[in-house]
């Protein structure tokens, strides 16, 4: 056999070391190693282990027993049985903090502020058995290392093994923000769906949940002091997120290394507030809706020129922000329809009495809503229009979500704002599903075509930026707008595609789709084993034969 044939045979018989996202530094060997039947995960040198870190250890231990993931090879690992049977055993994994580390909870570190977290870790798995060692400066770092450790193993007839010891990993993220956005307003997602999504996010080291909680169609979040909005604005009394639900979700996320950034979009996308406060909404449910709303029905926007509405909104933002410990809070600011305000007598009267233009009123409105966030020690986050299309004086600390096109990133960076990639041309998960508006036979999705995982994976976060501008890039996220999504299809739409950006913004750009695909197959299969209904990326025949289904194979 020539070298190429030998190499292909090796690939078909040896599972890829399927760590996702790709570590910054990884070395492996070729020695089989199996877990002892009494394998345990222990702490060393820690007087009091944070309970959420201890819980993470319990979950990892359980996954090692229940994943039962067979190697993605044609024989599912059977040809390695002799090597596995005679392999040395790993008896334990020891978790340690580096000297001088301050022990705090995983949850507190996850929410302490963007860019302040230390997620680095080091993992050594010896080939000769004994104990593996995981070290980090923080509980968050240990948690990331536990995630990696759980991805090393396969099952063969009840034995948990790897063929590639010794394994050494030194790792840390390239970007501090690695996100996933879920829209819970177009269609409602039960808390169990959100928790399952948070679990899946944590398994690929995504650390921010951007919760697009409310919109024109519904207002499911019960905000203390503003309960009437959800009472009249939720789809039903059963389709709400109570303060207890919010606290539960936030705590669940934090214990998995995830910060929850909520979004209350203003002044647009607020039609539903007219059900409880008609005095604050211009052109509520006006028709034809396309003349009064830039994106979709129903029409309706906050009367941004009204002092009473500005005060109402600032108080709503203040109350909502108090429900979330995150230092990030999004006030949206996208897709404002000028015609709605032009045709609204109250807005025109307010503008005239104040001697302001619409843009000046928008600036006053934004200053009021952002000031309550800044006063609370939080950082405002906005969609790109607020930085590029409107005459608004944003605080220098404001973070901009670039969504309309990745080509707009340079313009945001030129203004000196920190930014998060959320381009619809790379990261929108809902694209390509066909149009959802009725009476539109040949309609297509507004962001057609479908965005493959490879498309997201190919993205360069610093393209067309200077070195100084590149420092403004905080990371990126994939987004699921839910016009055509609900509980029944959440998992297959999101996973494993959303894992593509998880690796892009952890490992950095330049990954090879050829070598990534076998590992992403592994992610999908492991997710399914853990109860997440990830979609198949290819026929299983291809998944078991890396490279065999490449376009040039």
CATH of domain 177-509: 3.20.20.80
Are domains 2-171 and 177-509 of this chain identical in fold? no
pTM for the structure as a whole? 0.96
Measured CA to CA, the distance from residue 370 to residue 374 in angstroms comes to: 6
pLDDT (0 to 100) of residue 393: 97
Domain ranges of the chain: 2-171, 177-509
The answer to whether 21 and 503 have CB atoms below 8 angstroms apart is yes
pLDDT (0 to 100) of residue 298: 98
Give the residue carrying structure tokens 């289904």: 549
Measured CA to CA, the distance from residue 51 to residue 55 in angstroms comes to: 6
Give the residue carrying structure tokens 């309706």: 300
Measured CA to CA, the distance from residue 545 to residue 553 in angstroms comes to: 11
Measured CA to CA, the distance from residue 476 to residue 52 in angstroms comes to: 26
pLDDT (0 to 100) of residue 51: 97
Residue 440 token pair:
């539109």
CATH of domain 2-171: 3.30.379.10
Query: Catalytic site residues?
Result: 335
> 200: closest CA among 497, 519, 423?
497
**Cβ-based neighbour number of residue 106 at 10 Å:** 23
Measured CA to CA, the distance from residue 496 to residue 17 in angstroms comes to: 17
Measured CA to CA, the distance from residue 273 to residue 219 in angstroms comes to: 8
> 335: closest CA among 382, 278, 392, 372?
382
Pairing of strands 88-97, 25-43: parallel
Measured CA to CA, the distance from residue 504 to residue 117 in angstroms comes to: 19
Measured CA to CA, the distance from residue 32 to residue 244 in angstroms comes to: 48
> 13: closest CA among 68, 78, 57?
78
Measured CA to CA, the distance from residue 82 to residue 157 in angstroms comes to: 12
Give the residue carrying structure tokens 């843009």: 359
> 334: closest CA among 181, 147, 467, 204?
181
Measured CA to CA, the distance from residue 87 to residue 31 in angstroms comes to: 8
Q: CA–CA distance from 451 to each of 59, 121, 304, 457 (Å)?
A: 33, 32, 35, 10
**Dihedral Cα 276, 278, 281, 283, nearest 10 deg:** 120
- CA dihedral for 102, 108, 112, 115, sign (positive or negative): positive
**Dihedral Cα 209, 214, 220, 225, nearest 10 deg:** 100
Pairing of strands 399-402, 379-383: parallel
pLDDT (0 to 100) of residue 47: 87
pLDDT (0 to 100) of residue 183: 98
Q: CA–CA distance from 427 to each of 398, 450, 512 (Å)?
A: 22, 10, 18
How confident is the chain (553 residues) per 10-residue block, as mean pLDDT?
Answer: 40 64 97 97 94 98 97 96 97 97 96 96 97 98 98 97 98 98 98 98 98 98 98 98 98 98 98 98 98 96 98 98 98 98 98 98 98 98 98 97 98 98 98 95 93 98 98 98 97 98 97 96 98 98 97 95
Give the DSSP letter string of 159-208. EEEEEEEEEEEEE--S-SEEEEEEE-SSS---HHHHHHHHHHHHHTT--E
Measured CA to CA, the distance from residue 358 to residue 339 in angstroms comes to: 11
């Amino acid at each position: 056999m020539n070298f190429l044939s030998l190499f292909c045979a090796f690939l078909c018989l040896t599972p890829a070391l399927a760590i996702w996202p790709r570590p910054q530094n990884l070395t492996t060997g070729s020695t089989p190693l199996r877990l002892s039947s009494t394998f345990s995960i222990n702490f060393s040198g820690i007087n009091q282990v944070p309970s959420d870190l201890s819980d993470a250890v319990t979950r990892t231990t359980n996954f090692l027993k229940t994943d039962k993931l067979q190697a993605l090879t044609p024989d599912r690992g059977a040809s390695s049985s002799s090597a596995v049977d005679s392999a040395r055993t790993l008896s334990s994994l020891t978790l340690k903090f580096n000297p001088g580390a301050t022990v705090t909870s995983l949850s507190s570190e996850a929410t302490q502020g963007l860019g302040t977290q230390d997620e680095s870790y080091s993992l050594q798995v010896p080939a000769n058995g004994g104990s593996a060692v995981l070290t980090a400066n923080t509980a968050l770092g240990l948690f990331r290392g536990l995630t990696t450790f759980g991805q090393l193993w396969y099952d063969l007839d009840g034995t948990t093994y790897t063929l590639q010891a010794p394994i050494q990993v030194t790792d840390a993220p390239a970007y501090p923000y690695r996100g996933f956005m879920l829209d819970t307003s177009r269609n409602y997602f039960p808390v169990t769906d959100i928790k399952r999504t948070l679990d899946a996010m944590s398994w690929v080291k995504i650390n921010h949940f951007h919760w697009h909680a409310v919109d024109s169609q519904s207002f499911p979040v019960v905000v203390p002091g503003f309960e009437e909005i959800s009472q009249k604005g939720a789809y039903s009394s059963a389709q709400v997120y109570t303060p207890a639900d919010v606290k539960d979700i936030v705590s669940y996320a934090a214990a998995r290394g995830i910060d929850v950034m909520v979004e209350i979009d203003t002044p647009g996308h607020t039609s539903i507030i007219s059900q409880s406060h008609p005095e604050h909404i211009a052109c509520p449910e006006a028709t034809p809706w396309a003349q009064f709303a830039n994106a979709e029905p129903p029409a309706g926007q906050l009367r941004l020129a009204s002092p009473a509405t500005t005060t109402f909104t600032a108080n709503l933002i203040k109350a909502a922000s108090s429900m979330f410990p995150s230092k990030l809070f999004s006030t949206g600011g996208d897709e404002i329809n000028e015609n709605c305000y032009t045709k609204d007598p109250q807005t025109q009267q307010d503008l005239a009495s104040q001697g302001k233009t619409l843009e000046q009123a928008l600036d006053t409105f934004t200053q009021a809503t952002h000031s309550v966030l800044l006063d609370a020690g939080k950082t405002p986050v906005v969609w790109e229009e607020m930085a590029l299309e409107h005459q608004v004086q944003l605080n220098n600390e404001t973070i901009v979500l670039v969504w309309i096109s990745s080509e707009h990133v340079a313009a945001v960076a030129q203004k000196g704002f920190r930014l998060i990639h959320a381009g619809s041309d790379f990261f929108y998960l809902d694209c390509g599903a066909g149009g959802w508006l009725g009476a539109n036979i040949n309609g297509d999705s507004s962001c057609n075509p479908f965005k493959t995982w490879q498309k997201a994976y190919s993205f360069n976060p610093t393209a067309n930026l200077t070195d100084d501008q590149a420092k403004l890039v905080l990371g990126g996220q994939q987004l699921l707008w839910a016009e055509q999504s609900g509980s029944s299809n959440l998992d297959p739409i999101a996973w494993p595609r959303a894992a593509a950006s998880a690796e892009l913004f952890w490992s950095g750009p330049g990954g090879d789709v050829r070598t990534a695909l076998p590992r992403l197959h592994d992610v999908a299969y492991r997710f399914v084993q853990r109860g997440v209904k990830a979609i198949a990326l290819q026929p299983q025949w291809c998944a078991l034969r890396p490279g065999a289904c490449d376009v040039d194979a």
